[in-house]
Structure 1
């Protein structure tokens, strides 16, 4: 399989498709490019209702991004507990939370300077 170079926008839309496929909720895109000393350009954040759904969202994102974008996550953590799974595609990092864990950590609040876009899906 040859690796195709896809744009960050294409990667983000493929990630969102993976989230939507298993009914991930409350999808937010945080644009971090105008903030100094960030680890990546974008965060994609979403919620699931249980550790089973969080795991399913994580698997769906990795499968669809792998298949359609030929991109493999550089690093994935949190899948065993599945309260907060982080999928790192280098300049795009995906955070899949259970709702109460997301509220507790409040990533959107911590990165309040980021441009935030709420993503509407077919749910």
Structure 2
């Protein structure tokens, strides 16, 4: 099951596709029993190779800027007919219309359920609400009393007392050491 963070990444990637005018955007939630590969496929197509590259560039820039996440790998960017971006929890496929019809990933993944962007956003909100309900309430933290700074005058009066105490401790230690040696 995908985490809240990976669902937010997926939603941001889908929004980037929409912003770059990608066509036929689909999110496939893959069956975990069938595919240990990833949780989701984000599939869309552009009208030409340059638009496909622009779509993938926008996804990469947005996820890097908003979440600090880079894809594990990107394949097919040079050709532009089918660009694959691997974000581990989801994989983005940006096709040309011809290649998408030819390969038909939606047909190959019949057990996958199709999600709309609205359904994904609703799922994110539900997960966030559930995580807030299960978290224990924060305990009130007691404030610490402010630390008073010692004035220079106080330090001058303290130093001689510390020196006297130090000398007295040293004398006591020396007396004990000589007493042990004499025994």
User: Per the alignment, do residues 115 and 35 of structure 1 end up closer, same or farther by CA in structure 2, a change over 3 Å counting?
Assistant: farther
Does the CA-based 8 Å contact 1:34-1:114 persist in structure 2?
no
Structure with bigger helix share is 2
Contact in 1 for aligned 2:29/2:40 (Cα 8 Å): yes
Q: Which residue of 1 aligns with 2:74?
A: 76
Mark the runs of 5 or more structure 2 residues left unpaired by the alignment: 119-183
The superposition leaves residues 27-48 of structure 1 with CA deviations (integer Å, 9 ceiling, x where unpaired) of 1000014442431000000010
- Given candidates 88, 96, 100, the residue that maps to 1:90 is 88
Cα separation, 2, equivalents of 1:37 and 1:67:
30
Other-structure match for 1:108: 106
Identify the residue that residue 36 of structure 2 maps to in structure 1. Answer: 38
RMSD: 1.7
| Distance of 1:83 and 1:37 partners within structure 2 | 25
- Which structure 1 residue ranges, 4+ long, deviate > 3 Å from structure 2? none
**What TM-score do you get using the length of structure 1 for normalisation?**
0.88
More strand by share: 1
* SS of equivalent residue, structure 1 residue 20: helix
- Which residue does 2:17 correspond to in 1? 19
Q: Offset at 1:119?
A: 4.0
Once the two structures are TM-superposed, the CA of residue 105 in structure 1 deviates from its matched residue by 0.2
Number of matched pairs: 116
1:63 maps onto 2:61 in alignment? yes
* Offset at residue 14 of structure 1 (A): 0.7
**Structure 1: 5+ residue stretches without partners:** none
Task: Classify 1:83/1:55 alpha carbon distance in 2 versus 1 (closer, same or farther; 3 Å).
Answer: same
More relative contact order, 1 or 2 (CA 8 Å, 6+ apart): 1
